[in-house]
A = this chain, B = another copy of it.
Amino acid sequence: MHSADAVETIQREMTVFARRARAAAGRMHPELSLVSYTLLGHLEESGGCRATDLAAHYALDKSTVSRQVAGLESAGLIERRPDPADQRVQVLHLTRSGRDILSQVTESRRAAFRERLAGWPAEDLNRFAEYLVRYNA
Protein backbone atom coordinates (compact mmCIF):
# COMPACT_ATOMS: atom_id res chain seq x y z
CA MET A 1 0.00 0.00 0.00
CA HIS A 2 1.33 3.45 -0.92
CA SER A 3 1.46 6.14 1.73
CA ALA A 4 -0.99 8.28 -0.19
CA ASP A 5 -3.43 5.38 -0.29
CA ALA A 6 -2.92 4.71 3.38
CA VAL A 7 -3.80 8.24 4.44
CA GLU A 8 -6.75 8.11 2.08
CA THR A 9 -7.96 4.97 3.78
CA ILE A 10 -7.37 6.40 7.22
CA GLN A 11 -9.47 9.43 6.43
CA ARG A 12 -12.33 7.44 5.02
CA GLU A 13 -12.47 4.81 7.72
CA MET A 14 -12.30 7.37 10.47
CA THR A 15 -15.31 9.08 9.00
CA VAL A 16 -17.30 5.90 8.84
CA PHE A 17 -16.35 5.07 12.38
CA ALA A 18 -17.24 8.49 13.69
CA ARG A 19 -20.73 8.40 12.29
CA ARG A 20 -21.41 4.91 13.54
CA ALA A 21 -20.06 5.71 16.96
CA ARG A 22 -22.34 8.65 17.32
CA ALA A 23 -25.40 6.74 16.23
CA ALA A 24 -24.54 3.76 18.42
CA ALA A 25 -23.94 5.99 21.42
CA GLY A 26 -27.31 7.62 20.91
CA ARG A 27 -29.02 4.27 20.74
CA MET A 28 -27.31 2.88 23.81
CA HIS A 29 -27.66 5.92 26.03
CA PRO A 30 -30.23 8.41 24.83
CA GLU A 31 -29.68 10.44 27.98
CA LEU A 32 -26.02 11.09 27.32
CA SER A 33 -24.81 12.03 23.86
CA LEU A 34 -21.35 11.17 22.71
CA VAL A 35 -20.25 14.76 23.13
CA SER A 36 -21.61 15.01 26.66
CA TYR A 37 -20.01 11.74 27.51
CA THR A 38 -16.67 12.95 26.24
CA LEU A 39 -16.91 16.16 28.24
CA LEU A 40 -17.85 14.32 31.41
CA GLY A 41 -14.95 11.98 30.87
CA HIS A 42 -12.61 14.90 30.53
CA LEU A 43 -13.90 16.44 33.73
CA GLU A 44 -13.37 13.25 35.60
CA GLU A 45 -9.88 12.81 34.27
CA SER A 46 -8.82 16.39 34.84
CA GLY A 47 -10.51 16.67 38.20
CA GLY A 48 -12.37 19.81 37.20
CA CYS A 49 -11.59 22.50 34.65
CA ARG A 50 -13.00 25.57 32.92
CA ALA A 51 -15.32 25.64 29.94
CA THR A 52 -12.61 27.37 27.97
CA ASP A 53 -10.25 24.49 28.60
CA LEU A 54 -12.79 22.07 27.23
CA ALA A 55 -13.30 24.21 24.16
CA ALA A 56 -9.58 24.41 23.51
CA HIS A 57 -9.00 20.72 24.02
CA TYR A 58 -11.79 19.57 21.74
CA ALA A 59 -11.47 22.39 19.21
CA LEU A 60 -15.04 23.47 19.86
CA ASP A 61 -16.47 26.94 19.87
CA LYS A 62 -16.92 28.31 23.35
CA SER A 63 -20.61 28.85 22.67
CA THR A 64 -21.01 25.16 21.91
CA VAL A 65 -19.34 24.22 25.15
CA SER A 66 -21.38 26.76 27.02
CA ARG A 67 -24.58 25.13 25.84
CA GLN A 68 -23.36 21.61 26.50
CA VAL A 69 -22.37 22.65 29.98
CA ALA A 70 -25.73 24.26 30.57
CA GLY A 71 -27.42 21.03 29.59
CA LEU A 72 -25.21 18.90 31.79
CA GLU A 73 -25.76 21.22 34.71
CA SER A 74 -29.52 21.26 34.38
CA ALA A 75 -29.38 17.47 34.21
CA GLY A 76 -27.57 17.57 37.53
CA LEU A 77 -24.44 15.88 36.23
CA ILE A 78 -22.00 18.72 36.80
CA GLU A 79 -21.81 21.80 38.98
CA ARG A 80 -20.12 25.17 38.59
CA ARG A 81 -17.90 26.44 41.34
CA PRO A 82 -16.63 30.00 41.46
CA ASP A 83 -12.89 30.46 41.20
CA PRO A 84 -11.80 32.64 44.14
CA ALA A 85 -8.82 33.85 42.12
CA ASP A 86 -10.88 35.09 39.16
CA GLN A 87 -14.51 36.04 39.35
CA ARG A 88 -15.06 35.41 35.64
CA VAL A 89 -14.18 31.77 35.91
CA GLN A 90 -16.45 28.87 36.73
CA VAL A 91 -14.68 25.68 37.55
CA LEU A 92 -16.69 22.68 36.41
CA HIS A 93 -16.92 19.57 38.54
CA LEU A 94 -18.76 16.29 38.28
CA THR A 95 -21.52 15.79 40.78
CA ARG A 96 -22.08 12.52 42.55
CA SER A 97 -24.82 11.73 40.06
CA GLY A 98 -22.59 12.71 37.15
CA ARG A 99 -19.91 10.37 38.36
CA ASP A 100 -22.42 7.55 38.67
CA ILE A 101 -23.89 7.98 35.23
CA LEU A 102 -20.46 8.34 33.70
CA SER A 103 -19.15 5.14 35.18
CA GLN A 104 -22.29 3.30 34.23
CA VAL A 105 -22.12 4.45 30.61
CA THR A 106 -18.41 3.80 30.50
CA GLU A 107 -18.99 0.27 31.65
CA SER A 108 -21.56 -0.52 29.00
CA ARG A 109 -19.48 1.13 26.28
CA ARG A 110 -16.55 -0.89 27.40
CA ALA A 111 -18.57 -4.05 27.15
CA ALA A 112 -19.65 -3.19 23.62
CA PHE A 113 -16.12 -2.43 22.55
CA ARG A 114 -14.78 -5.49 24.22
CA GLU A 115 -17.17 -7.63 22.29
CA ARG A 116 -16.39 -5.85 19.08
CA LEU A 117 -12.65 -6.08 19.51
CA ALA A 118 -12.75 -9.52 21.03
CA GLY A 119 -10.56 -11.14 18.42
CA TRP A 120 -7.81 -8.55 18.57
CA PRO A 121 -4.49 -9.31 20.14
CA ALA A 122 -3.68 -6.95 23.00
CA GLU A 123 -0.64 -5.76 21.14
CA ASP A 124 -2.72 -4.56 18.22
CA LEU A 125 -5.14 -2.79 20.51
CA ASN A 126 -2.40 -0.92 22.21
CA ARG A 127 -0.75 0.03 18.97
CA PHE A 128 -4.06 1.19 17.53
CA ALA A 129 -4.73 3.37 20.57
CA GLU A 130 -1.23 4.74 20.40
CA TYR A 131 -1.59 5.68 16.74
CA LEU A 132 -4.76 7.58 17.44
CA VAL A 133 -3.24 9.51 20.30
CA ARG A 134 -0.22 10.33 18.23
CA TYR A 135 -2.37 11.46 15.36
CA ASN A 136 -4.50 13.78 17.45
CA ALA A 137 -1.65 15.18 19.49
Contact = CB atoms under 8 A, between A and B. Distances in A.
Contacts of A15: 18, 21, 34, 38
A126 interface: yes
Given A15-B34, A59-B20, A132 B10 contact: yes
B125 A13 contact: no
Contacts of A6: 122, 125-126, 128-129
Interface string A104-137: 0010011001101100101011111101111110
A64 to B, nearest CB: 10
Interface in A1-48: 1, 3-23, 34, 38, 41
Nearest to A5: B129
A75 interface: no
Contacts of A126: 1, 6
Interface residues of A, number: 49
Contacts of A23: 59
A12 B117 CA distance: 15
Contact of A13 (B3, B106, B109, B136): B136
A104 to B, nearest CB: 15
Contact of A113 (B7, B19, B38): B7
